[in-house]
């Protein structure tokens, strides 16, 4: 199951997983886009069995229902996300809420739905309210893998992206805490992974080339979506608790976290470098 897979990174993740032999269910808020990606996957090889479904990750019941309907669910990728750039006080309530609901609550909803389908808490759990849907996992220990796509913004402060950063910090904190709870409960065959990519060329970022509030997304070497999709597919094969892309940026973020006052005082310099990178990117793309 891949959320937010009607285009961009999610589409590439779904394709990579299909190449690895997964029978992928492509989900997206846009049902037509999801159906198109599934058709593209199936057209690429006769053995593919991709399906599609409309899914709003903000709807916890919808997440549970679609998860419990998949008897063979082994991997759930929480990829759906939205980004709005502006100081937190310049965003309206609806914009702030949307980022938190999709990025943070949506990831939580998807994870809990997957865990239920994997058999975690199956003895106590029930399906979505008003339905008879229940986990269909057979006898034996709970097993499965949840892979959450966060961001480098989940590891470090990002000016102009305060709400987005808050939502991605929430994803990482939730994922690590849930991984610990699973281990404490004895669910050793259920894995939680988080991939934290640096800025990458996605439709969201193309729209931010002239937005100074989005400059920090250009502070490093921008990744291609294909690179990140490859890493997600790699982590799907060999689960890892946290994977930062590129790895060296993870170390840089940890250093910032160890000295937050330095990070705040040096923000102007970092932003100047990032803004220069943003201008170079815009010039290169428009040449």
Complete domains list, the chain, with CATH: 56-286 (3.40.50.720)
What is d(CA 63, CA 106) in angstroms, rounded to the nearest whole number? Answer: 9
- CA 11 – CA 37 distance, rounded (Å): 7
Contacting residues for 31 by C-beta, under 8 A, at least 6 apart: 52, 53, 54
**3-state class of 244 per DSSP?**
strand
Q: Report pLDDT for 266.
A: 72
* pLDDT number for residue 207: 76
Note the pLDDT tens digit of each residue in 182-201.
999 999 999 999 999 988 87
Whether the model pTM is above 0.75 = yes
Round to whole Å and give the CA distance between 156 and 172: 11
Residue 45 near residue 24 (C-beta atoms within 8 A): no
Residue 137 is predicted with a pLDDT of: 58
Q: Say what the pLDDT of residue 95 is.
A: 98
User: Which stretches in the chain have pLDDT values below 70?
Assistant: 122-140, 203-204, 263
For residue 138, the model assigns a pLDDT of 58
Residues in the chain: 287
pLDDT at residue number 67: 98
pLDDT digits (tens, 9 = 90+) for 59-118: 999 999 999 999 899 999 999 999 998 999 999 999 999 999 999 999 999 999 999 999
Residue 194 pLDDT: 99
């Amino acid at each position: 199951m891949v959320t937010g897979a009607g285009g961009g990174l999610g589409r590439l993740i779904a394709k990579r997983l299909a190449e690895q032999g997964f029978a992928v269910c492509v989900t997206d808020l846009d049902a037509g886009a999801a159906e198109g990606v599934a058709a593209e996957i199936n057209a690429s090889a006769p053995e593919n069995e991709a399906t599609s479904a409309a899914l709003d990750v903000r709807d916890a019941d919808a997440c549970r229902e679609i998860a419990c309907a998949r008897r063979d669910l082994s991997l759930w990728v929480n990829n759906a996300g939205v980004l709005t750039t502006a100081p937190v006080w310049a965003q309206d309530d609806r914009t702030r809420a949307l980022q938190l609901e999709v990025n943070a609550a949506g990831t939580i909803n998807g994870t809990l739905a997957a865990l239920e389908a994997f058999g975690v808490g199956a003895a106590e759990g029930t399906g979505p309210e008003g339905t008879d849907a229940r986990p269909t996992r057979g006898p034996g220990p709970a097993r499965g893998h949840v892979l959450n796509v966060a961001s480098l913004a989940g590891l470090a402060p990002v000016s102009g992206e305060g709400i987005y950063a808050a939502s991605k910090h929430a994803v990482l904190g939730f994922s690590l805490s849930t991984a610990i709870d699973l281990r404490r409960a004895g669910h050793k065959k259920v894995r939680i992974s988080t991939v934290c990519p640096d800025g990458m060329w996605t439709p969201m970022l193309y729209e931010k080339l002239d937005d100074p509030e989005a400059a920090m997304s250009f502070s490093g070497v921008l990744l291609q979506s294909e690179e990140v999709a490859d890493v997600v597919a790699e982590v799907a094969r060999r689960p890892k608790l946290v994977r930062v892309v590129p790895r060296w940026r993870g170390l840089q973020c940890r250093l910032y976290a160890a000295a937050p006052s330095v990070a705040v005082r040096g923000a102007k310099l970092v932003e100047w470098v990032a803004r220069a990178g943003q201008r170079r990117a815009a010039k290169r793309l428009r040449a």
